[in-house]
Amino acid sequence: MRFHAKSGLPTWIICVYVCIGLCVLILGIRSSSVLNASLGSFLVLIALFHVLIQLFIYWQLDTVSLRQRKFWKKKEISWPDVNSVSRFGTTDSVQIMYRHQAEDYSFIVASPKENSKFLAALRLFAPQAHFDL
């Protein structure tokens, strides 16, 4: 099962940047101001890069492991290594603690669009984990 990242406040802020950037770009071209055109282009490129990153962030769960993909970075965690699952801060994000060496723990933070289905899949594949939700 694959779960994509949800769009949150940063995505909406980026959408505002796109609108501002396009306005500045159009006004910059009309007024022949290189600075305005450059600023507008820069804002639009940042926004497009952010949208691409959002498209390529996902978590894939199967019977073998949990795989996290963030653009070009991949992380695979086998189910026996998952120790606990809890809320992360005041958001709907989930913190997954796992062991990657003896007594050495790390965590990932997941913010999937379908949070309830994601948690159900975690409970199915990692029944040994402590769930504090």
CATH of the domain at 92: 2.30.29.30
Is 25 found in the same domain as 40? yes
What is the reported pTM? 0.69
Position 84 scores a pLDDT of 93
Using CA atoms of 81, 65, 63, 93 in order, give the dihedral in degrees to the nearest 10.
90
Position 23 scores a pLDDT of 73
Give the position of tokens 């409970």.
123
Is 126 found in the same domain as 64? yes
Return the structure tokens found at 54. Answer: 């959002």
Position 44 scores a pLDDT of 74
Is 121 found in the same domain as 64? yes
Containing domain of residue 24, as a range?
2-55
Is 38 found in the same domain as 68? no
Give CA 78 to chain center in angstroms: 20
Q: How many domains does one find in the chain? A: 2
Position 36 scores a pLDDT of 66
Position 75 scores a pLDDT of 92
Position 76 scores a pLDDT of 93
Is 11 found in the same domain as 50? yes
Q: Point out the residues of the chain with pLDDT beneath 70.
A: 7-12, 14-15, 17, 24-25, 27-37, 40, 53, 101-103
Distances (CA, A) of 116 to 42, 43, 82: 37, 35, 18
Residue type at position 119: L
Is 67 found in the same domain as 38? no
Is 51 found in the same domain as 28? yes
Using CA atoms of 36, 37, 38, 41 in order, give the dihedral in degrees to the nearest 10.
120
Of 10, 34, 55, the residue at which a domain comes to its end is 55
**E-assigned strand segments in the chain:** 2-4, 57-61, 65-70, 73-78, 82-87, 94-101, 104-110, 130-132
